[in-house]
Amino acid sequence: MMKSLTMMRLLVLMLALAACARAHAQKYGIDARYDSLDTRHDKSRPVLERFWITVNHAWACYYRGERTASTRASMDALQLADSLGVDTLGAEAYLVLGNATGGSADPEAALKHFYRARTLAEKAGSREYSGVADKEIGVVYRQMEDYPRCLELLKKALVNVRSVLEVNRTYCQLSDTYRLMGQADSALYYAQRSNTIREPEEDPYGYARSYYTLGAAYAAKGDRVLAEVHFTRAIEVADSFDVVIPLIQALGGRGRMRLEMHELPGAITDGRRALAVSLDFGHLSLTARSADLLRAAYKAQGRLDSAFHYSEVKALFNDSLKTTGNMIKLQNMTFEQDLKEREEARLREIAATERSRNIQFGIIALIVITLGIFLLVFSRTAIVGARTIKNLSLIALLLFFEFINLLVHPFLDRITNHSPILMLLCMAAIAGLLIPLHHRMEKLITNMLVSKNNRVRLEAARRTIEELEARPTDTNAG
């Protein structure tokens, strides 16, 4: 009975510990929220908490279209991840940084950050983050219309990702890629598997994104009825939860389908709303697509003035897209320089800490060697040869030279402008001053040692004589 009761207590304790661990793991994570109260800069909070507030703020800014704010927040998150020394957190920061600075405007910047994220994920042994990085890299290749490379990376990502959120996103990206390649059956196959979010409250973006993907796949298959159902559901959810990108995509997809079915009033209604939302959101490429939908719908109606107007709107936003792309590239150069300076500052701080530690070790070693020499010299009993003192003094000289090198290296590095030849000459000059001093000290210590050894030997001889004199004289009995 007692044994079973003990087992029950252990089981309850294990379950309680597991629940605590799960609660702690769920305390921090991806939950894109706009930090309107600026709590991410509250230094009284734990650094880990500040990291997740900052990275979620970066994602929220990205979803809002505030790319500059997202970039700055993700760089702050990267700095916090560096201070924590956790590679997976660094990977998370680079993922949002790649999305904020890259995209179709600057795919080179996006790839650079996504590859850094994958390097950190592989270093940490995280399959999840490796998969997410591969997915993001694949999306960039799709934007560059390299569909085979994109599919290779997305399928590789699908093997590694485990979270429901990332499985949803990866299947959606696979469906979109196959649809762009004209393979409607494969697009529908992966779209159906993207429906991993059971309730919209769990992940509004993923839920709406999945229904938009299903609608687009059914439209590509020619099944207008099911496409309408799924587009409408995506619009309802995106509208309810204020998820902008799937809303614009679903309105545009349904409008295009209605245009193909010659339901022109419905196509114009969807196009106008998509244009209004995209203008408010500030997404230039989606705005240009919405304007193109309205241009085609009005042209099909025979309203050429309206068609011409929206044709000009499309051209205007395409030009703005090019201009914005150039501005984003310039901003990315600035942010890259800022990131480089932060990394250099971090490395200098690490080097300074390492140098300070080495100096402390050098001081300890010098003290030990110096005390050892003086103990040997001033000991009343120990007899030490000159060779031992010579070897110890040589070790002390090397330690002292290295100690001076650690102290003056930053100063020499600055005044010589990182010139190896000048630094070598300066260190040679220092060595030239130390060697004569070492010889004098060695001679002085050796003389002191000879005197001490003579005293020790004379004292030993005197004690021996006294012992012999005190010993009684042996006499013969006979």
- Number of residues assigned to the chain: 478
Position 100 in a domain: yes
Residues 335 and 398 in one domain: no
- The mean of the pLDDT values for the chain is 80
How many CA atoms are closer than 13 Å to the CA of 276, on its beta-carbon side? 6
Long-range CB contacts (within 8 A, 24+) of 66-70 = 67/100, 67/101, 67/328, 68/331, 70/96, 70/99, 70/100
Residues 320 and 465 in one domain: no
According to the model, what pLDDT value does residue 273 have?
95
Q: Quick one: which of 216, 275, 276, 212 has its CA closest to 246?
A: 212
Position 201 in a domain: yes
Measured distance CA(128)–CA(134) in Å, rounded = 10
According to the model, what pLDDT value does residue 19 have?
41
The predicted-structure confidence for 347-374, as pLDDT tens digits, reads as follows 777 777 776 776 676 676 666 566 566 6
Residues 230 and 317 in one domain: yes
Q: How confident is the model over 422-448, as a mean pLDDT?
A: 73
The predicted-structure confidence for 88-146, as pLDDT tens digits, reads as follows 999 999 999 888 886 656 788 888 899 999 999 999 999 999 999 999 999 999 988 99
According to the model, what pLDDT value does residue 105 have?
60
Residues 276 and 321 in one domain: yes
Q: Contact at 8 Å (CB) between 278 and 249?
A: no
Measured distance CA(81)–CA(77) in Å, rounded = 6
329 vs 276: which has the higher pLDDT: 276
Position 413 in a domain: yes
Long-range CB contacts (within 8 A, 24+) of 368-375 = 369/395, 369/396, 369/399, 370/396, 373/445
Position 77 in a domain: yes
Amino acid found at 346? R
Measured distance CA(424)–CA(455) in Å, rounded = 46
Residues 75 and 161 in one domain: yes
Q: Quick one: which of 251, 276, 236, 283 has its CA closest to 62?
A: 283
Position 1 in a domain: no
Q: Contact at 8 Å (CB) between 178 and 190?
A: yes
Helix (H) or strand (E) holding 382: none
Q: Contact at 8 Å (CB) between 255 and 274?
A: yes
pLDDT band at 61 (very low <50, low <70, confident <90, very high): confident
Residues 399 and 464 in one domain: yes
3-state helix, strand, coil in the chain (%, to 5): 85, 0, 15
Lowest mean pLDDT across 191-195, 298-302, 313-317 = 313-317
- Single residue among 344, 367, 389 that ends a domain in this structure: 344
Residues 149 and 37 in one domain: yes
Residues 271 and 383 in one domain: no
- Single residue among 327, 344, 361 that ends a domain in this structure: 344
According to the model, what pLDDT value does residue 10 have?
46
Q: What is the domain range of residue 261?
A: 30-344
Residues 111 and 244 in one domain: yes
According to the model, what pLDDT value does residue 335 have?
61
Q: Quick one: which of 45, 47, 109, 89 has its CA closest to 335?
A: 109
Position 205 in a domain: yes
86 vs 434: which has the higher pLDDT: 86
**Total structural domains in the chain?**
2
Q: Contact at 8 Å (CB) between 96 and 103?
A: no
Q: How confident is the model over 390-398, as a mean pLDDT?
A: 67
pLDDT over threshold 60, residue 17: no
Residues 333 and 388 in one domain: no
Residues 428 and 298 in one domain: no
Position 364 in a domain: no
Position 362 in a domain: no
Q: Which two tokens stand for residue 126?
A: 């995280």
Q: Which two tokens stand for residue 339?
A: 């990131």
- Single residue among 344, 369, 398 that ends a domain in this structure: 344
Highest mean predicted confidence (pLDDT) among 14-23, 207-216, 234-243: 207-216
List, in order, residues 6 or more apart from 298 with CB less than 8 Å away.
Answer: 268, 304, 306, 307, 310
Q: Quick one: which of 252, 265, 276, 256 has its CA closest to 301?
A: 265
Residues 236 and 384 in one domain: no
